[in-house]
Amino acid sequence: MRRGLEPSDLGDLFEQALAAVMSIGLADGSVFSRPVWHRWIDGRFVFQFPAEDRKISMLGRDPRTTVVLAENAFPYRAIEVRGRITMSTRRYHEIGAAICRPYVEAFDPNTDVSAYLSAEPGMIGELNAQITNCWDYADDFRRSRVT
C-alpha cells in the first residue's frame, strides 16, 4: 500500500462517477453514513443537498464529517477527508447541476439533471479538510506479481 499520497497523486479518481460515503456523528454517539454525489472543486469535496435532505439539519447541528471516496478496481485509489462542512444556498441550482451531471449522464442519461435538484434551493456543502489521507495499492500489486 502506498500511503501519504496527495490528492493530485490519485489521477482521474475524482472524475469518475463514484459515490463517496459521508459519515456524520449523531447526538446519541452513533454514526449516520450515506453515499453522496460530489465534485472535487479547488481541492475540496463539494456536495449538493436537496432542500428536504435530512443531512442539512444534521450538519447544521454538528458540521463535522468524514468522507471516503474509493474505487473498487486496481489500483484501489482512495481518499479520506475529515473536517467540517460549510453550507450555503448560493448558486444551488448551478453548482448542484454540475455535481449531479456526471452521475446522471452515466446512470440515467434520459433524465434532465434538474430532476435531481429540489425546486427550492437546497444547500451546497463544502468540506473544509482538517485531516486528509490518500492511498492506493499500486505497489502491492506489483510485489505480489513478482515470482
pLDDT in tens, 53-104: 999 999 999 999 999 999 999 999 999 999 999 999 999 999 999 999 999 9
| Exposed e or buried b per residue across 31-67, where buried means at least 16 C-beta atoms within 10 angstroms of its C-beta | eeeeebbbbbeeebbbbbbbeebebbebbeeebebbb
Under CATH, what is the fold of the domain 2-145? Pnp Oxidase; Chain A (2.30.110)
CB atoms closer than 10 angstroms to residue 139: 11
The band of 142, judged by pLDDT with boundaries at 50, 70 and 90, is low
What pLDDT digit, counting tens, does each position of 23-60 carry?
A: 999 999 999 999 999 999 999 999 999 999 999 999 99
Cell triple for 119: 425546486
